[in-house]
Amino acid sequence: MTALSRLILVGALLLGAPAWAADPTVVRIGYLTRAEEPRIPLTFLEPVADDEGVQGARLALADNNTTGRFLDIGFELVETVVEEDGSVADAVRGLAGQGIRLLVADLRADALLEVMGTPEARDMLVFNSRAPDDELRNERCAANLLHVTPSRRMLADALAQYLAFRRWSTWFLVVGRAPEDAAYAEALRRAAKRYGARIVQEKGWTFEEANRRVDTGHVTAQTEIPTFTQAPEHDVLVVADEADAFGDYLPYRTWLPRLVTGTHGLVPTAWSRVHEQWGATQLHSRFERQAGRWMRPRDYTAWMAVRAVGEAATRTRSGDAATLAAFIRGPDFALPAFKGQGLSFREWDGQLRQPVLLAGPRMLVSVSPQPGFLHQFSELDTIGDDRPESRCRAR
Amino acid sequence: MTMIRGILLALAGFAVALPVQADTIFVSNEKGNSISVIDGESLKVTGTIKVGRRPRGITFNQDMTLIYVCIGDDNRIDVVDVGSRKVVGRMPSGPDPELFVLEPGGKHLYIANEDDNMVSVLDTTTKKIVGEIQVGVEPEGMGISPDGKILVNTSETTNMAHFIDTASHKITDNVLVDARPRVANFTADGRFVWVSAEIGGTVSVIDTATRKIVKKIAFQVQGVPKESIQPVGIQMTRDGQRAFVALGPANRVAEIDVTTFEVTKYHLVGQRVWNLALSPDEKRLYTTNGVSNDVSVLDMERGRVIKSVAVGGAPWGVIVKP
């Protein structure tokens, strides 16, 4: 079986019936993802979704076309899903063959690097809508790779600023077993140093992962967690569990009555259902009508990527990929994305500068950057890698 | 032009000649689900009218006996009787009404349905929706020309000012403005429409005849980050000489010379100022400050805020009755 035949080409998906004129400009945007086992959340309240990401891209496509209707610009989304063991490089070749020059990559870091390594990708502007890895913005950066999803460092800095604002400066760090948990913990250590916090102790989570649905499971949790969380005096327990393997077991069971934050509890995130400010209500409402579930961060970042193309096409009145790419990276680009200010890409590493939400399970708690953290150019650059710190040399 | 100015001056003289009459200020409180009533003379809150959930847009009917209020979370318009200060009726609005504008004739209310990419046309006499106009994503600002023939709607995510012919309900032009347009306001002579862009941080002045942007007004306040300058509400004096633009979290109101489009002054007001209203004698400007939960009273002669009046939660819109 050839690698190509393993591709599931969903093909061009046109939402709605855009009423553009006979010979309109059509902007084609590729969307590339890889099939994977759906993430099973530890909580029963959150439904399992197998369409995370792509739903956001589809909504942005509809938004682009509503606007494009008034300007005779149409947008198409070419969705490609690579099988779990399929080759993303082959998929990129396939997309390039269909004339795709603007690509939304809903991929993990390794697959994204594989995409960036293909000769075909060199002629594309690629939006990283999923991988938070700091390496992709530093040592492994690329001139034609833009990151709409916030980096782990941005998330950690956003949290650290808020904890500094509350003067909760001693942290107890609990780290899961997955490699991404270690990366998240590394970002937290860096943030602690930047914002004057002290990590009093670190512990690795070593318990066996169990099925979430266990009768009288709470009894086990209630026995394990209090002893596990014994640690020197601290203000907050910061947890690194991106895989959602145990984080939700921690709140209310800690040895000391301390709040839980990090990947669980009070969470720094690009998007959350609890956020309803700056018109976010409308985005939730459109999304829920379309997808039948809440919008998640991966949906939101894919939405931002496709909207960035739409915004550029509207402003330049062009459908030419090179023109759009130049505008998106240029000084006049600003993406309105329900965060109360226009968002733009950092020229030194291609990261989208953006406020980060601090979301509780049921209510928005705050939005970073926090007041008082000043910057000579943009306060948004107080979170994540600022120009002098960047190790990106490819741009 | 000189003739118009002469008439306006005459009108102004006439207003001065009238006995001093206290204004009444009505403020919609987005979080408080209420309308605060402020007495213009004592500058005290004299009443609070309970309305539906999330009241935002607020306007008088033609003879100022009624107030219409957009009730966003209950998908309707509440009708408040100015005399009795009570809700006396409800009207349909289409989903999630945020802002609206009453045509000069007083019959049709044009309502932006933020959630539905649509403008609804309500007949206030029959209380029925008589038309729906498809516009861009997240319609918000609504302005109408003095002759009632042109409606301008802004859409926040599409970033356009849609020019709509009120006779046919058809869009005739779409003018691209800066990011997240909020308010559209015609000049008194109908020649220009001013459109504020909250995220773009500018006000576009569009020529009604050519549908082209003739000027983009930018703002700069020392010590305030660029991102915090978010223009929303616009008010102009009747003589067409001065305009005021609320700058949101910059906590300032910009005063603009309309002939040169230059900002002449930034007035410091309460936190996150969104909407504005001039007193009928134009000696005062009232501002709604959504974060500090108050109304700033700006004395135009002294050029400073003379009082902050605490109102309900998250004040949003403001109108003044002579």
Same domain, A132 and A18: yes
pLDDT at A310 over 70: yes
- Indicate if A20 and A132 belong to the same structural domain: yes
Does residue A87 sit within a domain? yes
Asked if the structure places residue A372 within a domain, the reply is no
Residue contact A334–B180, C-beta within 8 A: no
Interchain pair B227, A380: CB under 8 A: yes
Residue ending a domain, among A228, A251, A269, is A269
A369 lies in a domain?
Answer: no
Of the partner residues A70, A336, A378, the one whose CB lies closest to the CB of residue B179: A336
Interacting residues of B292 by C-beta distance below 8 A, sequence separation 6+: B270, B271, B272, B308
The answer to whether the Cβ–Cβ distance between A341 and B159 falls below 8 Å is no
Picking from A277, A278, A282, A304 by the largest number of B CB atoms within 10 A of its own CB, the best residue to mutate is A282
User: What are residue B96's phi and psi, to 5 degrees?
Assistant: 45, 65
Residues from chain A contacting residue B171 (CB–CB below 8 Å): 70
Please tell me the distance from the alpha carbon of residue A89 to that of residue A2, in angstroms, as a whole number: 13
Please judge whether B158 and A70 are an interchain contact, meaning their C-beta atoms are less than 8 angstroms apart. yes
**Residue A377's pLDDT is what?**
87
Question: Does the distance separating the beta carbons of A336 and B159 come in below 8 Å?
Answer: yes
Contacts of B226 in chain A (CB under 8 A): 378
Distance between CA atoms of residues B135 and B114, nearest Å: 10
Listed residue (A131, A142, A75, A13) closest to A321, CA to CA = A75
In the DSSP assignment, the letter for residue B72 is G
Give residue A17's pLDDT. Answer: 40
pLDDT tens-place string over residues A109-137: 999 999 999 999 999 999 999 999 999 99
CA dist B227 and A353 (Å) reads 12
Is A63 in contact with B137 (Cβ distance < 8 A)? yes
pLDDT band at A4 (very low <50, low <70, confident <90, very high): very low
Q: What is the pLDDT of residues A45-57, one digit of tens each?
A: 989 999 999 999 9
Q: Residue A314: which of B117, B138, B176 has the nearest Cβ?
A: B176
**SS3 of residue B97 by DSSP:** strand
Phi, psi of B139 (to 5 degrees): -65, 140
Nearest-Cα residue of chain A relative to residue B179: A336
Question: Would you say residue A364 lies in a domain?
Answer: no
Whether residue A315 lies within 8 A of chain B, CB to CB, comes out as: yes
Cis peptide before A369 (omega within 30 of 0): yes
Can you tell me which residue has the tokens 């997955």? A178
Looking at the structure, tell me whether residues A281 and A338 fall in a common domain. yes
Is the CB of A66 less than 8 angstroms away from the CB of B117? Answer: yes
On whether residue A259 sits in a domain, the answer given is: yes
Are A260 and A134 members of one domain? no
Best residue in A67, A69, A353 to probe B by mutation, most B CBs within 10 Å? A67
CA pair distance A52, A296, nearest whole angstrom: 7
**A340-351, pLDDT tens digit by residue?**
999 999 999 999
Per-residue DSSP letters for A42-102?
A: SSSSSPP-S-TTHHHHHHHHHHHHHHHTTTTEEEEEEEEEE-TTS-HHHHHHHHHHTT--E
* A393 in a structural domain: no
Strand partners, B107: none
Q: Which two tokens stand for residue A311?
A: 């915004």
d(CA A11, CA A145): 23
Q: Does pLDDT of A8 surpass 80?
A: no
Structure tokens at A26: 């059509």
* Residues of chain B neighbouring A378 (CB-CB closer than 8 A): 225-227
Measure Cα distances from A242 to A92, A175, B205 in Å: 28, 10, 49
User: Chain A residues with CB inside 8 Å of B249's CB?
Assistant: 340
CATH assignment at residue A39: 3.40.50.2300
Maximum Cα–Cα distance across chain A = 71
Nearest to B199 among A71, A286, A334 (CB): A334
Q: Does A70 touch chain B (CB under 8 A)?
A: yes
Chain B residues close to A334, C-beta within 8 Å: 179, 199-200
The predicted pLDDT at position A2 comes to: 41
Where residue A68 falls (left for φ over 0; alpha for ψ -120 to 50; beta otherwise) is: alpha
Which residues in chain A are contacts of B115 at CB distance < 8 A? 281-282, 285-286
Shared domain check, A91 and A60: yes
Asked if A129 and A195 sit in the same domain, the reply is no
Q: Assess A379–B contact: CB distance below 8 Å, yes or no.
A: yes
The verdict on A165 and A138 lying in the same domain is no
What's the rounded Cα separation, in Å, for the pair B283 and B263? 19
Q: Which of chain B's residues have a Cβ under 8 Å away from the Cβ of A336? A: 156-157, 159, 179-180, 199
Note whether A60 and A140 are same-domain residues: yes
Q: Which two tokens stand for residue A29?
A: 């945007």
Interface test with A, best of B137, B152, B178, B204 (most A CBs within 10 A): B137
pLDDT tens digits for range A243-260:
999 999 999 999 999 999
Total domain count, chain A: 2
Among A227, A250, A269, identify where a domain stops: A269
Give the integer Cα–Cα distance in Å for A63 and A77.
Answer: 12
Most A-contacting residue of B73, B133, B157 (CB-CB within 10 A), to test interface: B157
Q: Do B199 and A341 touch (CB under 8 A)?
A: yes
Identify the pLDDT of residue A23.
Answer: 53
pLDDT number for residue B15: 45
Q: Is A19 on the interface with B (CB under 8 A)?
A: no
Put simply, the answer to whether B171 touches A71 (Cβ < 8 Å) is no
pLDDT at A324 over 50: yes
The whole domain housing A244 covers: 153-269
Alpha-carbon gap, residue B204 to B213, rounded angstroms: 6
pTM, full prediction? 0.85
- Residue B225 has a pLDDT of 87
Residue A183 has pLDDT above 90, yes or no: yes
Q: With an 8 Å Cβ cutoff, is A285 touching chain B?
A: yes
Peptide bond into A251 cis (omega under 30): no
Residue B148 CB-density burial (10 A; 0-12 exposed, 13-18 middle, 19+ buried)? middle
Nearest CA among A102, A95, A97, A89 for reference residue A28: A102
pLDDT at A328 over 60: yes
Tally of CA atoms within 13 A in the half-sphere of B187 that contains its CB: 19
| A292 in any annotated domain | yes
For residue A223, give Cα distances in angstroms to A34, A203, A220, A252, B115: 39, 17, 5, 12, 48
List, for residues A262-297, the tens digit of each pLDDT value.
999 999 999 999 999 999 999 999 999 999 999 999
Q: Give me the residues paired with residue B156 across strands.
A: none
Q: For B229, which residue in chain A has the nearest alpha carbon?
A: A341
Nearest-Å Rg of the Cα atoms of chain B is 18
CB–CB contact B200 A342 (8 Å): yes
Q: At what angle do helices A54-68 and A280-291 cross, to 10 degrees?
A: 110
In terms of domains, do A92 and A38 share one? yes
Average pLDDT taken over every residue of chain A: 92
Query: What does the radius of gyration of chain A's CA atoms come to, in whole angstroms?
Result: 21
Q: Which of A70, A334, A378 sits opposite B160 (nearest CB)?
A: A70
Q: How many CB pairs under 8 A join A and B?
A: 68
Tens digits of pLDDT across chain B (322 residues): 445 554 544 444 444 444 455 899 999 999 999 999 999 999 999 999 999 999 999 999 999 999 999 999 999 999 999 999 999 999 999 999 999 999 999 999 999 998 888 999 999 999 999 999 999 999 999 999 999 999 999 999 899 999 999 999 999 999 999 999 999 999 999 999 999 999 999 999 999 999 999 999 999 999 898 889 999 999 999 999 999 999 999 999 999 999 999 999 999 999 999 999 999 999 999 999 999 999 999 999 998 999 999 999 999 999 999 9
The answer to whether A336 contacts chain B (CB < 8 Å) is yes
| Judgement on whether residues A137 and A177 belong to the same structural domain of the protein | no
Chain B residue numbers with beta carbons less than 8 Å from the beta carbon of A277 are none
| Cα angle B55-B56-B59, degrees, rounded to a multiple of 5 | 105
Residue at which a domain ends, from A220, A242, A269: A269
Average pLDDT of the residues in A144-152: 98
Q: For residue B228, what is the nearest residue in chain A, using CA coordinates?
A: A341
Find, among A108, A106, A124, the residue nearest to A58 by Cα: A106
List CB contacts of A64: < 8 A, sequence separation 6 or more: A27, A75, A306, A307, A309, A310, A313
Question: Are B65 and B82 within 8 A, CB to CB?
Answer: yes
Residues A214 and A132 in one domain: no
| Interface residue ranges in chain B relative to chain A, Cβ cutoff 8 Å | 96, 114-115, 117, 136-138, 155-160, 162, 171, 174, 176, 179-180, 199-201, 225-227, 230, 249
Contacts of B162 in chain A (CB under 8 A): 70
Chain B nearest-CA residue for A71: B174
Q: Are residues A186 and A95 in the same domain?
A: no
Among candidate residues A147, A149, A102, A153, the one with its CA nearest the CA of residue A349: A147
The answer as to whether A67 is a domain residue is yes
Cβ separation of A67 and B160 shorter than 8 Å?
Answer: yes
Rounded to an integer, what is the distance from CA B290 to the centroid of its chain?
15
Please report the sign of the dihedral spanned by the C-alpha atoms of residue B177, residue B181, residue B187, residue B193.
positive
Say if residues B27 and B38 touch (Cβ distance below 8 Å).
Answer: yes
Q: Print burial letters for A365-392: b (CB count within 10 Å at least 16), e (below 16).
A: ebbbbbeebeeeebbbbbbbbbeeebeb
Among partner residues A70, A311, A379, which is closest to B136 by beta-carbon distance?
A70
**Choice between B252 and A2, residue whose per-residue pLDDT is larger:** B252
- The nearest CA of chain A is from the CA of B12 a distance in Å of 40
